[in-house]
Amino acid sequence: MEIYLLTLLIFMIIGALIAIETKNLLSSVISVGVVGFTLSIAFLMLRAPDIAITQVVVEILILVVLIRATITRDNTSIEGRGGTFPFVSSLIFFGLFLIFAFFALKELPRFGEPLMKVSERYLRMGPEQTKAMNIVTGILLDFRAYDTIGEATVLLTSIVGAFCILRRRGRKLVEDADDEKTGILEDEDIKGSFEGF
């Protein structure tokens, strides 16, 4: 069991590294998809079908949106490498992370042996109190409904923000509009970028 899980985890790490390092944006998106689908299999092996279903479905949606967004950009490959400053700074932060993780991870309970203080009460009393046979939904929408409404608020806020950024016309008057083009592509730009396809 644990060896299968380790294999999946190593596979996911390899996929993530390829997604970062590859030159082509489309193969990068596909590698991100590999990570997501493998994660859903890992959830299924850890006996969490709720999260597995959500992971698969969200991964499909994100892949469609990302492929739609990447193949319409004119520049689908990345050129040039970062300088020494990003490399050195990421090395420093990785070292800091290792130092703090060494102290923090010692305090955590071992994998597969959670503390179960509140959740034990939920698991014991959940089915009879909520009558929801899927205990995950019972906890999410009964014991922790307050958290769920916060989640819904986060989703609503992000969608409103995305709508504001992605709308086609700004509210600015034409005479004091910005000179440089920002954000939204015009038809001519897209036409020009499609000559190669």
Partner 1 sequence: MVDLDQEIRDSKKGMTPIVKTITRFVMGIIVMFGAYIVLYGHLTPGGGFAGGVILACGYILLTLGFGKDVSLKKMNNLAASLLDNLGVLIFLSIGLLGTTAGYFFLNFIDHGQDFKLFSSGIIPLCNIAIALKVTSSLFAIFLALSIFGRFVSTLVEEEE
Q: How far is CA 185 from CA 78, 110, 132, 167, 175, in A?
A: 20, 51, 48, 11, 20
**Candidate segments 1-9, 46-54, 89-97, 171-179, binder of partner 1 by CB under 8 A:** 46-54
Q: Tokens for 196?
A: 């190669």
118 binds partner 1 (CB under 8 A): no
Pick from 106, 168, 171, 172: which binds partner 1 (CB under 8 A)? 168
User: 21 vs 74, which CB is nearer to partner 1?
Assistant: 74
Q: Helix, strand, or coil here: 11?
A: helix
User: 7 vs 119, which CB is nearer to partner 1?
Assistant: 119
Reported as type and span, the H/E element at residue 17 is helix 2-21
Neighbours of 153 (CB within 10 A): 10
192 binds partner 1 (CB under 8 A): no
Pick from 50, 88, 104, 125: which binds partner 1 (CB under 8 A)? 50
Q: Tokens for 181?
A: 């083009």
What one-letter code names the amino acid at 46? Answer: L
User: 10 vs 53, which CB is nearer to partner 1?
Assistant: 53
181 binds partner 1 (CB under 8 A): no
